[in-house]
């Protein structure tokens, strides 16, 4: 059966998920303890390999990115589990790369559950991806023990903007049944067009002032009228962090060894 182009079933959960859009402007109104607790508890019910995460919370809106009333820092946490192992007379022997993979999976599932629960309660949110490069600084701020690694941050609060949902790749470029296909030129063009036209229609990069600067003397050829997602994402992964040194250093400062 070809799932591409099939009609979708809709219920409240699916609608909430399809309604997702990152929010970068927030009302000052702080969510109640009950709302915050509900979001975190719903996050916790995500499937897990070993609950290898902890969530830090800052309600200091004035200092949070986007002045969001809530800033969650999602951490991979092996420390907590190692305390349980010690109680039972065990030592962690699993290598840190494996632990990190499982921890990132656990933490990501929890975080996305929080996003969906938040949305269902009227909250908007936006991930911030650079915590991993500021792990040592964040660790000092929150007095983290070793073996706790800040992975990603999640700003959350009541939205003060209501942008449209952002585009995604076509299903034909996402779901491959039984075998991975040869990607034809047409498929690639359709995927790029769907993304680029979708973001351009929203004037997304101009509104978010999010153009990535070209490095190493490359000449700028794109204004906000033509700069869109595929160019943006190429500039990210075509320029940033060619070496793993900095990330490995941050991990080592937090007590994780990747060799």
Binding site for ligand FMN (CB under 6 A): 20-22, 24, 126-130, 152, 166
Cα dihedral 63, 64, 65, 69 sign: negative
* Residue facing ligand FMN at closest CB distance: 129
How far apart are the C-alpha atoms of 160 and 26, rounded to whole Å? Answer: 5
How many C-beta atoms surround the C-beta of residue 166 within 10 A? 14
Beta-carbon count within 10 A of 128 CB: 17
Output the smallest distance, CB 61 to ligand FMN, in A.
17
Q: Which residues of 217-230 are buried (b: 16+ CB within 10 A; e: fewer)?
A: eeeeeeeeeebbbe
3-state helix, strand, coil in the chain (%, to 5): 45, 10, 45
Alpha-carbon distance values, 196 to 189, 193, 199, 211, 233 (Å): 10, 5, 5, 14, 11
Task: Tell the smallest beta-carbon distance from residue 184 to ligand FMN (Å).
Answer: 26
Nearer to ligand FMN, 111 or 139 (CB): 111
Q: Locate 123 and state its tokens.
A: 């909250």
Distance in angstroms (rounded) separating the CA atoms of residues 213 and 227: 11
| Shortest reach from residue 199's CB to ligand FMN, in Å | 8
Least spacing, CB of residue 64 vs ligand FMN, in Å: 13
Q: Are strands 148-157 and 70-77 parallel, antiparallel or unpaired?
A: antiparallel
What residues contact residue 40 under an 8 Å CB cut-off, 6+ apart? 55, 114
| Nearest residue (CB) to ligand FMN, 78 versus 153 | 153
**Within 13 Å and on the Cβ side, how many CA atoms surround 200?**
15
Would you say 87 or 209 has its CB closer to ligand FMN?
A: 209
The residue (of 218 and 236) whose beta carbon lies closer to ligand FMN is 236
Q: Are 142 and 57 in contact (CB under 8 A)?
A: no
Shortest CB 161 distance to ligand FMN, Å: 11
- Using the minimum distance from each CB to ligand FMN, give the nearer residue, 82 or 105: 105
Nearer to ligand FMN, 34 or 162 (CB): 162
Q: In terms of CB distance, is 90 or 130 closer to ligand FMN?
A: 130
Min separation Cβ 118 and ligand FMN, Å: 13
Shortest distance (Å) from residue 255 CB to ligand FMN:
23
């Amino acid at each position: 059966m070809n799932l591409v182009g099939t009609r979708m079933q809709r219920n409240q959960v699916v609608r909430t998920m399809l309604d997702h859009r990152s929010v970068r402007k927030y009302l000052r109104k702080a969510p109640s303890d009950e709302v915050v607790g509900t979001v975190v508890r719903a996050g916790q019910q995500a499937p897990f390999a070993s609950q290898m995460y902890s969530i830090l919370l800052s309600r200091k809106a004035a200092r949070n990115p986007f002045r969001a009333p809530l800033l969650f820092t999602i951490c991979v946490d092996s420390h907590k589990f190692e305390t349980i192992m010690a109680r039972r007379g065990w030592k962690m022997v699993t290598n840190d790369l494996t632990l990190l993979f499982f921890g990132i999976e656990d933490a990501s599932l929890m975080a996305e559950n929080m996003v969906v629960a938040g949305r269902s309660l009227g909250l908007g949110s936006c991930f911030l991806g650079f915590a991993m490069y500021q792990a040592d600084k964040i660790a000092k701020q929150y007095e983290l023990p070793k073996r706790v690694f800040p992975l990603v941050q999640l700003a959350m609060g009541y939205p003060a903007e209501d942008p449209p949902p952002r585009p995604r790749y076509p299903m034909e470029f996402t779901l491959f049944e039984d075998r991975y296909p040869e990607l034809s030129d047409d498929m690639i063009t359709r995927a790029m067009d769907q993304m680029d036209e979708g973001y351009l229609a929203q004037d997304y990069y101009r509104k978010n002032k999010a153009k990535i600067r070209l490095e190493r003397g490359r000449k700028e050829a794109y204004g906000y009228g033509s700069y869109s997602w595929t160019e943006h994402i190429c500039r990210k992964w075509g320029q940033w962090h060619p070496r793993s040194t900095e990330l490995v250093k941050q991990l080592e400062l937090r007590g994780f060894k990747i060799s």
